Amino acid sequence: MDPALLASIQEQASSLLRPLSEQYDVLAQDSTTKVLILIGHCLACVTAAPEAKGNWLLHYLMTFLLGFGGAMWSSLLLMDPSRAPISWILNNDIGMYFTVTWWLVVYSPLSRPLNWILKLWPIRALPTACVLFFKTRMVTSRVELVASLHPGVLLSPIVLATIAGCGGMCTYDALRSVYGLNDRPAEVTMAGKSFRVAFLVASIHFCNMLLPQPLLPIAEMRTFLTTLCIAHSLLCGLTGLKLDWTEALLRPVLFMARIPWPSEAPKPLPPASKHTAQEQQKKKAAAAAAKSGQDLQQASNKRGLAATVQPTSSQEEQTKRKGAPLSHPIQLDKPPASSQDRPAISHFSVANVTGAAQPLSTKQQQQQQQQQQGGKGARRRWNEPPAAAPAPAAPATKEKRPDTGSNYYADAGLTAPNPFAALQNVDESGKRKKN
């Protein structure tokens, strides 16, 4: 292109944008206009996240960070309060106007008519235009500030200016994702319109500053970018069309760089309802119970067949103790042909959850026998008195020999024998006397 022609085009563009730039500066300096732009910016922010109105603190934080989070994060990263202060800390205007606007639109008695007015056709585009005016001025001012603080650095002006433009949306999406309110891909994971606008404005403004001969002066380039964003928002708001000039600029660049255009994240499948989940659990439990019942039935049949062939453990123990053979010999070569010929098994319990018989252990069999005999293991009812303890048996005593005294024989009507009768018939020499 001819340099003279390019210079003439630049001169004509500058002459057209210079009055508009001066008008923007007047609007930015005028207190009334600043308040109106701030109120419009607050109106666009407080109407977001209607599903979080039930929690007033969460809704307040989400909407406030949506509107002023980007400027706050960029100021914190710059770490220069004198040149990049946090605006809502320095003065009361932002906090006061935002709080009043938030209450009027969300919780006041006038919230319904105000929301209805904000949705009208010509008015709905004005808050968005105020947001873009505020955002574009913030991004361009951050580019100029970082370039002056760190001359020669190419990355930090674009990064910090992009954060100033879309940091609020990123924080807003993060809070929505934490509380399960986000129904679209987050701004951090997928570059949305807010990120693309901030990135393109910062890149174009910084590249114009780096050129030896800028396409437009700094003030006129700032005015051009601000006008472009406001005109785009008004056109989309009034016509209802989803026009995106950022996509038209970024798609060719990404295509030449062989970088795929970010696609939307797949939506998660809807979770199953509680009713469906309960039905599935009931079906699984019924199937498991049926399977276990079949297994127990087969096991009980096998044990019943074995019980007809082998003696019970209680009979074996009694046989070992007594040392006598079983009274009824068991025929091992002729098992019963059918279940009718099979003898009744008393040590099987029929009561079972699945309806199948389960064998009792040896201890349970002994307890059952004791209960039938009314012995130690027999249970009594709650209204029956406890059985009296058996009287202790008298100690065993040895049988005493009968007393040979007179009392014994006198009681019996007998005459007691004289032990000295034999000595009366013996003389002194020991010979028996003759009568």
Contacts of 23 (CB under 8 A, 6+ apart): none
Query: Residue 49 in contact with residue 62, Cβ under 8 Å?
Result: yes
Contacts with 217 (C-beta within 8 Å, 6 or more apart), sequence order: 14
**What would the pLDDT profile of 29-79 be if each residue is shown by its tens digit?**
888 888 999 999 999 999 988 888 888 999 999 999 999 999 999 999 998
Neighbours of 75 (CB within 10 A): 20
- Flag whether 74 is in a domain: yes
Pull the structure tokens for residue 144.
């100029």
CA dist., res. 7 & res. 18, Å (int):
16
Q: How far apart are the first and last CA of the chain?
A: 190
Integer Cα distance of 288 and 301 in angstroms: 20
The 3 state secondary structure assigned to the chain is: CCHHHHHHHHHHHHHHHHHHHHHHHHHHHCHHHHHHHHHHHHHHHHCCCHHHCCCHHHHHHHHHHHHHHHHHHHHHHHCCCCCCCCHHHHCCHHHHHHHHHHHHHHCCCCHHHHHHHHCCCCCCHHHHHHHHHHHHHHHHHHHHHHHHHCCCCCCHHHHHHHHHHHHHHHHHHHHHHHCCCCCCCCCCCCCCHHHHHHHHHHHHHHHHHHCCCCCCCHHHHHHHHHHHHHHHHHHHHHHCCCCCHHHHHHHHHHHHCCCCCCCCCCCCCCCCCHHHHHHHHHHHHHHHHHHHHHHHHHHHHHHHHHHHHCCCHHHHHHHHHHCCCCCCCCCCCCCCCCCCCCCCCCCEECCCCCCCCEECCHHHHHHHHHHHHCCCCCCCCCCCCCCCCCCCCCCCCCCCCCCCCHHHHHHHCCCCCCCCHHHHCECCCCCECCC
Q: For residue 349, what pLDDT is reported?
A: 45
Per the domain annotation, does 6 fall within a domain? no
Q: What is the pLDDT along the chain (435 residues), one digit of tens a residue?
A: 567 777 777 777 777 788 888 888 887 788 888 899 999 999 999 998 888 888 899 999 999 999 999 999 999 999 888 888 998 888 888 999 999 999 999 999 999 999 999 888 888 888 988 999 999 999 999 999 999 999 989 999 999 999 999 999 999 988 888 888 877 777 777 778 889 899 999 999 999 999 888 888 888 899 999 999 998 888 888 887 777 888 888 889 888 999 888 766 555 545 554 456 567 777 778 888 777 777 666 766 666 555 554 555 555 555 555 554 444 444 444 444 444 444 444 444 444 444 445 566 777 777 777 666 554 445 556 666 666 656 666 665 655 555 554 456 666 666 666 666 656 666 666 566 665
* Residue that is written with structure tokens 């970018």 in the block: 225
Whether 286 is in a domain gets the answer no
Domain enclosing residue 68, as ranges: 30-256
| 18 inside domain | no
Q: For residue 205, what pLDDT is reported?
A: 93
Give a yes or no: residue 389 inside a domain.
Answer: no
Cα angle at 60 between 58 and 63, to 5 degrees? Answer: 105
* Nearest alpha-carbon partner for 140 in 211, 85, 84, 202: 202
281-319 b/e (C-beta count within 10 Å ≥ 16 → b): eeeeeeeeeeeeeeebeeebeeeeeebeeeeeeeeeeee
The answer as to whether 124 is a domain residue is yes
* Contact yes or no for 342/304 (Cβ under 8 A): yes
The residues near 353 (Cβ < 8 Å, ≥ 6 apart) are 289
Tell me how many domains the chain contains: 1
The model's pTM is 0.58
Among candidates 66, 60, 50, which has minimal Cα distance to 134?
66
Give the number of residues written for the chain. Answer: 435
